[in-house]
Amino acid sequence: MRPVCLVIGAGAGIGGNVGRRFAREGLHAVLCRRTDQEGLDRLVGAIEDGGGSASGHLLNAIDGGTLESRVEAVEVEVGPIEVAVYNLGAQIGNRTLGDTSLKAFEMGWRLATFGLFRLAKSVCPRMAERGHGTLLVTSATAAMRGNPGQHSHAAAMGGRRLLCQTLNAEYGPKGVHVAHIVVDGAVDAPDTLGKMLGPDRYRELRETRGDGLLRPDKIADTFWHVAQQHRSAWTHELDLRPYTDSPWWNG
């Protein structure tokens, strides 16, 4: 059985590109996303056209048991999960405290924090038993500081960051590499940025900004590098941003 790269949150941006990159290196990519069977099929097809191996599943990470049973099924039916990528965000745009409902706040936590905890509970012990494995967590600026209007997002991502540190503290010495990758800028992704802006403004922004948008295939190169690091020299946290952008600490 082929080692697996399981991607939770595999759209046409970071998740899909990471899956494709790892498939190119010989892993079987299991791509999971909440909706859009057609888009999912396209991703799987593109990987297979490139000579890689992949499969796809629609899955609502918020529903109890979904992540857990997917991990179980993959391990039994496909192969050992060598790399798990948690790529679900919880950005809902800027909202005042008054406009952030209890439900939205809880949803942010369920997606960004609790889902990762559930995935970790499922995959980390399996990896530890094998003595190796990698858990890559896509993160955002909101994990580093709470900006105006980010009540839900910052609370969820700030919790996620420290959860990654605790996971690393327990599982690092067992051979499981946990990495928290702070994507500190706008990603050139049709499924998120593209849908937010609409086709015309998206095209225009891509033309204007060029390499000033994070290219998801280039992000995937760094995900791959981190997953390949020798265990004598692992990275737990790193940032990624376009050369044109100010880092979050510079405002």
Q: Which of 7, 163, 189, 193 binds a second copy (CB under 8 A)?
A: 163
Please report whether residue 250 would count as binding a second copy according to CB under 8 A. Answer: yes
Q: Which of 44, 47, 118, 137 binds a second copy (CB under 8 A)?
A: 118
Please report whether residue 145 would count as binding a second copy according to CB under 8 A. Answer: yes
C-beta atoms surrounding 69 within 10 Å: 12
Judged by beta carbon, residue 24 or residue 215, the one nearer a second copy is: 215
Instruction: Provide φ and ψ at 32, rounded to 5°.
Output: -125, 140
What character string, x for contact with a second copy (CB under 8 A) and - otherwise, covers 205-234? ------xxxxx--xx-xx--x---xxxxxx
- Segment 229-238 long-range contacts (CB within 8 Å, at least 24 positions apart): 229/177, 231/132, 231/175, 231/177, 234/172, 234/177, 234/179, 235/179, 236/164, 236/165, 236/168, 236/172, 236/178, 236/179, 236/180, 237/164, 237/179, 237/180, 237/181, 237/182, 238/179, 238/181, 238/182
Pick from 7, 8, 89, 95: nearest CA to 52: 7
Judged by beta carbon, residue 58 or residue 238, the one nearer a second copy is: 238
Please report whether residue 238 would count as binding a second copy according to CB under 8 A. Answer: yes
| Shortest distance (Å) from residue 70 CB to a second copy | 16
Count, residues near a second copy per rule CB under 8 A:
82
Q: Alpha carbon of 165 to those of 23, 78, 87, 178, 181: distances in Å? A: 28, 29, 17, 8, 12
Q: Which of 63, 129, 170, 204 binds a second copy (CB under 8 A)?
A: 170
Q: Which of 38, 76, 98, 207 binds a second copy (CB under 8 A)?
A: 98
Judged by beta carbon, residue 40 or residue 154, the one nearer a second copy is: 154
| Shortest distance (Å) from residue 7 CB to a second copy | 18
Judged by beta carbon, residue 52 or residue 242, the one nearer a second copy is: 242
C-alpha span between 57 and 196 (Å, rounded): 24
Please report whether residue 93 would count as binding a second copy according to CB under 8 A. Answer: no
Judged by beta carbon, residue 145 or residue 195, the one nearer a second copy is: 145
Pick from 92, 111, 10, 20: nearest CA to 56: 10
8: three-class secondary structure by DSSP: strand
Judged by beta carbon, residue 78 or residue 92, the one nearer a second copy is: 92
Please report whether residue 157 would count as binding a second copy according to CB under 8 A. Answer: yes
Q: Are 223 and 23 in contact (CB under 8 A)?
A: no
Q: Which of 37, 60, 69, 235 binds a second copy (CB under 8 A)?
A: 235
| Shortest distance (Å) from residue 98 CB to a second copy | 6
Please report whether residue 202 would count as binding a second copy according to CB under 8 A. Answer: no
Q: Are 16 and 216 in contact (CB under 8 A)?
A: yes
